[in-house]
Amino acid sequence: MTKIIVANWKMNPKSLKEARVIFKETYTLARGIKNAKIVVCPPFPYLFLSGNFKSKNVFLGAQNVAKDGEGSYTGEVSSNMLKNMSVNYVIVGHSERRFLGENDNIINKKIFNLLKNKITPILCVGENKRDHDGFYLSFVKEQLKNCLNEIPKAQIKNIIIAYEPVWAIGKGAVREATKEEFLEMKIFIKKVISDIYDANTAHSVSILYGGSVNPLNAESFVKGGEADGLLVGRDSLNSKKFGDILNVATQ
**What total of structural domains would you count in the chain?**
1
d(CA 194, CA 144): 12
**Residue 195 one-letter amino acid:** D
From first to last of its 251 residues, the chain has per-residue pLDDT tens of: 799 999 999 999 999 999 999 999 999 998 878 889 999 999 999 999 998 888 889 999 999 999 999 999 999 999 999 999 999 999 999 999 999 999 999 999 999 999 999 999 999 999 999 888 889 999 999 999 999 999 999 999 999 999 999 989 877 777 889 999 999 999 999 999 999 999 999 999 999 999 899 999 999 999 988 999 999 999 999 999 999 999 999 88
* CATH of residue 130: 3.20.20.70
Are the beta carbons of 78 and 66 closer than 8 angstroms? yes
User: Whose CA is closest to 80, among 91, 93, 69, 64?
Assistant: 69
Cis peptide before 45 (omega within 30 of 0): no
Distances (CA, A) of 121 to 158, 224, 231: 8, 26, 13
Residue 230: how many CB atoms within 10 A of its CB?
A: 27
Domain that holds residue 9: 3-250
pLDDT at 132: 84
d(CA 112, CA 68): 10
- Angle subtended by helix axes 239-250 and 16-30, to nearest 10: 30
pLDDT at 131: 87
pLDDT at 79: 98
- Return all residues near 116 (Cβ < 8 A) that are at least 6 apart: 69, 79
The residues annotated with a catalytic role in the active site are: 94, 164
* pTM reported for the whole predicted model: 0.96
Are the beta carbons of 23 and 41 closer than 8 angstroms? no
d(CA 153, CA 138): 22
Are the beta carbons of 66 and 56 closer than 8 angstroms? no
pLDDT at 209: 97
- Return all residues near 36 (Cβ < 8 A) that are at least 6 apart: 2, 3, 4, 5, 57, 229, 246, 249, 250
d(CA 19, CA 51): 13
d(CA 56, CA 65): 25
